[in-house]
Amino acid sequence: MEKITGIGVSPGIVVGRAFVLDDEHRRIPRRPIAPESVERQIQRLHDAIDASVADLERVRAQAEVDMGRDAAQIFSFHIGMLKDRVMIGSIEEVIRDQLVTAEYAVDHIFGQWADRFRAMPDSAFTTKVNDITDLAGRVLEHLVGEHSTTLDRLDDEVIVVARELTPSQTVGFNRNKVMALATDLGGKTSHTSIVARALNIPAVVGLQNLCAKLTDGVTLIIDGDAGVVIIDPDDETIERYLGQEAERDKIQLSLKELAKLESITTDGVRVEIMGNIEFADEITDVIDYGCSGIGLFRTEFLYLATNTEPTEDVHFDVYRSCIERLGGLPLTIRTMDLGADKSSRSHIENPERNPALGLRSIRYCLQNLPMFKHQIRAILRASALGPVKLMIPLVSSIGEFRQAKHLIHDVMEDLTDAGIPFDPKMPLGVMIEVPSAALLASTFAREVDFFSIGTNDLVQYTLAVDRTNERVADLFNPTHPAVLKLVRDVVRAARRRDVPVSSCGESAGDIEFAALLIGLGVRTLSVTPGSVPSIKRLVRSISMDRCERLAKKAISFDSDTEVSMYVRARLRKEIPEAYDRVGPRAG
């Protein structure tokens, strides 16, 4: 029996047999062609691309049925990439200049793109390599023929294990046969991880060398909550995990009963629980779990879903849909939190040396004002339909915020002149995600309407740790004393100006960190829909006084290990029911 720890990206526990997917990229030989054959090869290229686009249209249609229109937009991004004139032109150029077959040119160009992404230090790039590989494989299948993937011919229920899975593979397999996923590569933000969560399939990624350890038929335990895979477990371990999963199902049902109950501590203090979403379809779960609204609507997929910039009307239609579904509950929209790497082709040809510290988020928006204005106009128009807040990400200086605020006021004037309604008092806030913003919180508090602490990036930039990198994932710990002190100081600065503070990072869904946030003075927690029940139960099981004493003691320790051990020990003793196997890091 061997236990391997990776990154849990889709919750649940499964015991089953491994199916090791060996999809080695076939080698395409370099075959020369006569000059008079160039046009024939180019026609073959276009035929193969057209056929691949048709394939993807069918996959997208099926994905809409299985997991909703918004999540299926991943494949719109793929379709847009195949239709991109720069991409097609590069392949045609190789055919003409080098006098080679269409399949070699496709393999060569897609390989170059994959190598560029793979070589970039930011995991946001490296996790997209499998998307490029997926597209190349589709085109090559129509050019030279490929055997159909063995995933299409599964006879029994299996746990699919692979070096890496493409999103279309994840959507395309028989969901009645695939019980869980485990991959050597990948991170929380990869398309495959998002698809796995949307399909409710337990998944663990970032396992490094799991494939090399396995053959078909080996018994595995997949624990998507803890991010653990156990190879060839003994009977006692299997029985224990099966019992945990059965108990987990019971707990999920019982926790739904909390949905209609208020989120109030045992000593009467209200803690608002809101939802983090990426797609409008997720609002149904948010409402079912009894959230107070949406504390973070990520808008990145509006840009990733297509190869062209989304129009103002595309933005507006999505925001309107969210507002209608919320039925009067507030919607907090984060402006685009991507860089040139995700919204244009130019960055692929001219990559930044360190994109995590480069032109991204508000920096990118302020250098691309027409694009930024489209989103701001759409958000303001939507604000006339229901309660909307606008949130600026990755602000590192007061100057950036003032620039953004000035632009927003300009857009307001334009809308007023055009007679287009909007909420002139729409709250405008910033995300506290970098240490400079946390240290200048008192300055920001004089000018903003609210703060939202983005723990994902705040931990990453404070500790210099990429949370999606499986090699250093153990160093990513939001309970590090440095992070706790920054949170404490932000809350203190906000209170002096009566500025509301929420936390919307993934870590807010962890019961231990949530207890510390509450104790440090955060009164609104925005978490993923699946984490809502366990966080609401935590709030209703503990007093504010206890949380404050817990945080005061925790912040006095020297290391994150001491903090984690202390908080876990105290919570396990005082509210053991909070450690039932539900939600991130439970158990």
Active site residue 504: yes
Give the active site residue among 211, 291, 365, 504: 504
At residue 385, the 3 state secondary structure works out as coil
Tokens encoding 575: 């509210």
**Contact indicator for 449, 428 with CB cutoff of 8 Å:** yes
DSSP structural state of residue 153: G
Sorted by sequence, the CB contacts under 8 Å of residue 306 that are 6+ apart come out as 73, 76, 77, 80
C-alpha–C-alpha distance, residues 10 and 471, integer Å: 20
Active site residue 191: yes
Give the active site residue among 78, 191, 347, 480: 191
For residues 207-225, b (16+ Cβ closer than 10 Å) or e, as one string? beebbebbeeeebbbbbbb
**Contact indicator for 190, 127 with CB cutoff of 8 Å:** yes
| Cross-strand pairs, 450 | 429
C-alpha–C-alpha distance, residues 372 and 274, integer Å: 26
C-alpha–C-alpha distance, residues 46 and 27, integer Å: 21
- Residue 414 sits at the vertex; the CA angle it makes with 411 and 420, to the nearest 5 degrees, is 100
C-alpha 446: how far from its chain's center? 32
Distances (CA, A) of 272 to 17, 290, 294, 430, 509: 42, 10, 11, 19, 13
**Contact indicator for 255, 534 with CB cutoff of 8 Å:** yes
Sign, CA torsion 257/528/68/191: negative
DSSP structural state of residue 280: G
CA gyration radius for the chain?
Answer: 25
Instruction: For 387, list phi and psi in degrees, rounded to 5.
Output: -65, 115
Distances (CA, A) of 291 to 258, 266, 327, 518: 11, 19, 12, 17
The catalytic residues are: 191, 504
